[in-house]
Amino acid sequence: MNPSQLQLPKPCSKRIFFFTLVLFFSLYYILTTIRTITISSSSQDPHHHHPPLQEPSMHHHSSLQEPSISHYSSPPEPSANQPSPPSSSLSYFPLCPKNFTNYLPCHDPSTARQYSIERHYRRERHCPDLSHEKKLRCLVPKPSGYKTPFHWPESRNYAWFKNVPFKKLAEFKKTQNWVRLEGDRFVFPGGGTSFPGGVKDYVDVIMKVLPLASGSIRTVLDVGCGVASFGAFLLNHNILTMSIAPRDIHEAQVQFALERGLPAMLGVLSTYKLPYPSKSFDMVHCSRCLVNWTAYDGLYLMEVDRVLRPGGYWVLSGPPVTSMVKAKNQKRSLQKEMEKLNDVFRRLCWEKIAERYPVVIWRKPSNHLQCIKRLKALKFPGRCSSGDPNAAWYKEMEPCITPLLNVNDTHIRVLRNWPERLNHVPERHGVTISRFKADTNLWQRIVVYYDTKLKFLSNGKYRNIMDMNSGLGGFAAALIKYPMWVMNVVPFDLKPNTLGVVFDRGLIGTYMNWCEAFSTYPRTYDLIHANGLFSLYLDKCDIVDILLEMQRILRPEGAVIIRDGFDVLMKVKAITNQMRWNALCVKYEAEFRPNMSIVVQALQPLLRSSGTATAPHRQA
């Protein structure tokens, strides 16, 4: 759904109640069913009692009770002689067993062992079979003792142990100051493998070479991010960092990052391209990220080259960067590895611009004019000649160089510095000025409505925001004044592909297929926004599974806003009722255009695991 077609909701009006005196019962039923929905566990009808949440005893996913709801059928038309059925007749989704508390459907360690370890393929996304019989349909519970996370900016430094109950990282990285366990909470002192004394001095070395405070570097990719202390510090310079790491022996490092209120997602350089468009990041960083950069003829560096902007920077610390205290034999080995690395960069036409321990910095060229002859003389790698370089969802990495425009430096389209680039019309994606401005203005008005009428954007509770169908990034742009960050998601098969626009505005995001689970841990987002998403997926997969995935990644007491058509919202509301999401405010405005008038806000119930049910092996 094009957000520019939407009309801004108006405040709730008392006149609706007067209309009920003269309207038929059927019309009254419709109006009270399709107004804007707000769902909360704390405001339940005292006369309405849900059956207690029970943890099912089960031996296979298919044995879970499954509510009988089909999104393909239209909701029945109510009449005066057919009142709505009582809520007690609803079939509720059961609570998942307690060993599903940290369930990662597409990064499940219990199934990863069946995949090859070659090129870390085991750590790629491997989602469950989409067949109906094998779907997990239950509500993922919170862990015992879960507490409301610290609010930003306090969350940058602290997290409750019960929320992320993993001690291994604190034990393994104790001397490197990644994270410490002190009583009932984790403390993040800002250290890292390459900067155990603190990230500030480390960034100061980089700042002597790169203009981090100028606004020219806005989007950064941190590969093998640890607990994202590097990205946390870059926020001081208005730099937004996408921190990625796989689920590996370090255990839950991405979950730590998100619990701190920092942008992060599960990701690995392995077989498939990273889920970002070409020319997305101003800088890519690796601090002892355990990637063999020279393996497979430099394939992983070719992928970095694809997502790095023309003129962008690549910062490396850790091996093969040598230390003055290394033994001679170690130095000799590392120097040979550095020579291999430099050879790959020569083939990529990159230039080394600085080598200051503990970092080495290279720069990608702004065009290939200066090295066309060299590229033609080299048999490998060649320039990528087929396919869309922006297509990256389950696309295998290619051993080739993503071509750049063959234009002189004086004619290169340079992005504006931050914050000017946020509202500057991107030039490389075919977006018209009128469409861009209309979209930007509309979302600014909608966000004002959200804040003034729904009253939750300014309360400090929400830090991690997910926009499931972000379009041009207008919703995220309108939130820029709030202490939030937004994961802008663009469905991978959406035409036109707008994720490049999002990145060119200085925002971050990823491709996604919402028929699958997102690459994140449970309870990692405070607010989920879905504009026209369910209409988009009605004929692709069951929207029940999309809503259950939203429940998995939403924090307890988190919020959901859904904008969609009337028929679609009726189906969504029926499912959320079965998830025990309770409506606080449901509003319909008659002057809205049909099928473009619904806003849904939801607060999910506080779920906790209980019982001793058995289930397929999952991480505890």
- Which residues lie below 8 Å from residue 276, measured CB to CB, with a gap of 6+? 221, 242, 307, 392, 499, 503, 510, 511
Contact 574, 103 (CB under 8 A): no
Strands 281-287 and 308-317: parallel
Q: What is the pLDDT of residue 60?
A: 37
Domains of the chain: 191-376 (3.40.50.150), 420-603 (3.40.50.150)
**SS in 3 state form for 326-385?**
CCHHHHHHHHHHHHHHHHHHHHHCCEEEEEECCEEEEECCCCCHHHHHHHHHCCCCEECC
pLDDT at 438 over 90: yes
C-alpha 496: how far from chain center: 20
C-alpha 185: how far from chain center: 25
What's at 61, amino acid-wise? H
Contact 286, 268 (CB under 8 A): no
Q: What is the pLDDT of residue 566?
A: 78
pLDDT at 315 over 70: yes
Q: Give the residue, 361 or 167, on which the prediction is more confident.
A: 361
Which of 131-140, 226-235, 307-316, 540-549 shows the lowest mean pLDDT across its residues? 131-140
Both structure tokens of 168 = 């291994």
Contact 315, 229 (CB under 8 A): no
Q: What is the pLDDT of residue 604?
A: 53
pLDDT at 194 over 90: no
pLDDT at 74 over 50: no
Q: What is the pLDDT of residue 379?
A: 66
Q: What is the DSSP letter of 548?
A: H
- The separation between the first and the last C-alpha atoms of the chain, rounded to the nearest angstrom, is 39
Q: Of all residues in the chain, what percent carry a pLDDT higher than 90?
A: 52
Q: What is the pLDDT of residue 328?
A: 64
Q: Of all residues in the chain, what percent carry a pLDDT higher than 70?
A: 75
Beta strands in 421-545 (DSSP E): 464-467, 485-491, 508-512, 525-531
Both structure tokens of 229 = 């202390």
Cβ neighbourhood burial of 269 (10 Å; 0-12, 13-18, 19+): buried
Contact 496, 430 (CB under 8 A): yes
Angle at 387 between CA 385 and CA 393, to 5 degrees: 135
Distances (CA, A) of 591 to 7, 19, 121, 547, 599: 9, 15, 53, 29, 14
Both structure tokens of 501 = 């626009």
H helices of 218-315, in order, are: 229-234, 253-259, 299-307
Q: What is the pLDDT of residue 98?
A: 87
Which pLDDT tens digit goes with each residue over 142-155? Answer: 999 999 999 999 99
Q: What is the pLDDT of residue 164?
A: 94
Distance CA(210)–CA(355), nearest Å, equals: 12
Distance CA(206)–CA(211), nearest Å, equals: 9
Phi, psi of 61 (to 5 degrees): -55, -40
Phi, psi of 252 (to 5 degrees): 70, 25
Q: Could you tell me which residues are beta bridge partners of residue 465?
A: 486, 527
DSSP string, 408-435: -GGG--PPPPTTGGGGSPPSSS---HHH
Phi, psi of 447 (to 5 degrees): -65, -35
Which pLDDT tens digit goes with each residue over 497-552? Answer: 999 999 999 999 999 999 999 999 999 999 999 999 999 999 999 999 999 999 99
Both structure tokens of 309 = 């902007």
Both structure tokens of 191 = 């250290």
